[in-house]
Structure 1
Amino acid sequence: MAVTDTAIDRIKQMILEGEIPPGGRLPKEADLAERLGLSRNSLREAVRALALINVLDVRQGDGTYVTSLEPRLLLDAMAFVVDFHQDDTALEFFQVRRILEPEATAMAATRMTEAEIAELHEILTRLPENPSVEQLTANDLEFHRRIAAGSGNAVLCSLIESLSGPTTRARLWRALTRENALTRTREQHTAIYEAIAARQPEVARAWAMVHVAGVEEWLRSVLA
């Protein structure tokens, strides 16, 4: 194992064992390096690496802290990597969405509060009669984000949000080139909302599957 990897692993163990809790401050660099039996250079490299993936927060003039370690924060790094993938890889991201979103939608049908369901309906009614492509896409993203959050599972929600980047461009393409894209989106969003409002998880799951799979199949035909 490389020296930097060893340093990363030892810091990780200190966090996992509760020696440095979320929000806690790491010992001074010299003290920590001596304690772990590492050079200060190796320790610095490990800290940089862990800061890049939001495990550590380096505050100039103050010290280095463990972040909150919330799933959303830790998965930001994955979203950054996802954004660099090319258009043909976007199809694979849609395949992952097709696995995750129907389940999140089913969970939302049983877990969203009445107030959250009312807010979901408000998102539907907020869309103008003849929206621009940008308005349609933004509304679509917000609709799906609220449902993912409504699943009550922070990790699942963060995973779904991290897939938004590479699939947003495909949604824009579809809105620009596919006939009746607006009508289809409205109808399917309404069906998903109604299933959630009626507390019908299986129906909600089925409509979410239809919705995501429809964009996936369109993208497959375009790439072919």
Structure 2
Amino acid sequence: MAVTDAAIDKIKEMIVSGELAPGDRLPKEADLAERLGLSRNSLREAVRALSLINVLDVRQGDGTYVTSLEPGLLLDTMSFVLDLHRDDTVLQFFEVRRILEPAATAMAAEQMKDDEIEELRVILESLPERPTIEELVANDLRFHQRIAQGSGNSVLCSFIESLSGPTNRARIWRGLTQEGAMQKTREQHTAIYEAIAARQADVARSWATVHVAGVESWLRRALELD
């Protein structure tokens, strides 16, 4: 194992064991290096690597701290990686969405508070009668983001939000090329909202599956024609 990897593992072990908690300041570099049996250069490289994935926060003139370690923060780097995907892998992202979003939607039907369901209704009704493609896609993203948040599971929410970027372009393509896509999106969003508002988890799951699978199916056909 590379020396830097070993240093990363030792810092991770301190966090996992609870010796370092979210928000804690790391000991001074010289003290920590001696304690872990590392060179200061190896320790610096490990700190740099962990700061890039939002585990550590290096504050110039103040010290190095463990971040909040919240799922959204840690999965932020995954969003960057996913944004580098190739177009020929976009179907795989939709396959993952088809697994995760219906589950989150069913959970939202059980977990969302009344005022959160009202927020969802406001998002749904804020879409203009004749929206542009950009307005439709932006509204679609807000709608699904609110449902993911309503699932009550921050890890699941973060994963779903990470998938928004790679599938965003496909949403735009569909809006531009498929006849009736705007109306279909509006109708399916309404059905999902009504199922959540009625606390019908299985119905909400079914409509979410239909909704995501519809875009996936369209994309699969479009790619076969290219």
TM-score, normalized by length of structure 2? 0.98
Amino acid at match of 1:77: T
Figure out how many residues of one structure are paired with residues of the other and give that number.
224
Q: How far apart, CA to CA, are the structure 2 residues paired with 1:174 and 1:120?
A: 23
- Give 1:175-214 correspondences, 5 Å limit: 175-214=175-214
| Residue matched to 2:128 | 128
- Give 1:76-91 correspondences, 5 Å limit: 76-91=76-91
| Residue matched to 2:40 | 40
Q: How far apart, CA to CA, are the structure 2 residues paired with 1:186 and 1:82?
A: 27
Shift of 1:221: 1.0
| Residue matched to 2:157 | 157
Shift of 1:136: 0.4
TM-score, normalized by length of structure 1? 0.99
Q: How far apart, CA to CA, are the structure 2 residues paired with 1:165 and 1:44?
A: 32
Shift of 1:113: 0.5
Q: How far apart, CA to CA, are the structure 1 residues paired with 2:158 and 2:43?
A: 30
Q: How far apart, CA to CA, are the structure 2 residues paired with 1:172 and 1:56?
A: 36
| Residue matched to 1:108 | 108
- Give 1:47-66 correspondences, 5 Å limit: 47-66=47-66
| Residue matched to 1:173 | 173
Q: How far apart, CA to CA, are the structure 1 residues paired with 2:86 and 2:164?
A: 14
Q: How far apart, CA to CA, are the structure 1 residues paired with 2:113 and 2:48?
A: 41
Q: How far apart, CA to CA, are the structure 2 residues paired with 1:41 and 1:130?
A: 59
Q: C-alpha deviations, 1:139-175, integer Å up to 9, x for none?
A: 0000000000000000000000000110011101111
Amino acid at match of 2:143: F
Identity among equivalent positions (%) equals 75
Give 5+ residue unaligned stretches, structure 2.
none
Amino acid at match of 1:112: M
Q: How far apart, CA to CA, are the structure 2 residues paired with 1:140 and 1:18?
A: 40
| Residue matched to 2:24 | 24
Q: How far apart, CA to CA, are the structure 2 residues paired with 1:222 and 1:32?
A: 56
Alignment RMSD: 0.6
Q: How far apart, CA to CA, are the structure 2 residues paired with 1:60 and 1:92?
A: 41
Q: How far apart, CA to CA, are the structure 1 residues paired with 2:139 and 2:66?
A: 35
Q: How far apart, CA to CA, are the structure 2 residues paired with 1:82 and 1:141?
A: 17
Q: How far apart, CA to CA, are the structure 2 residues paired with 1:195 and 1:88?
A: 34
Q: How far apart, CA to CA, are the structure 2 residues paired with 1:160 and 1:197?
A: 21
Shift of 1:102: 0.2
| Residue matched to 1:147 | 147
Structure 1 position 67 matched with structure 2 position 76: no
Q: How far apart, CA to CA, are the structure 1 residues paired with 2:90 and 2:27?
A: 43
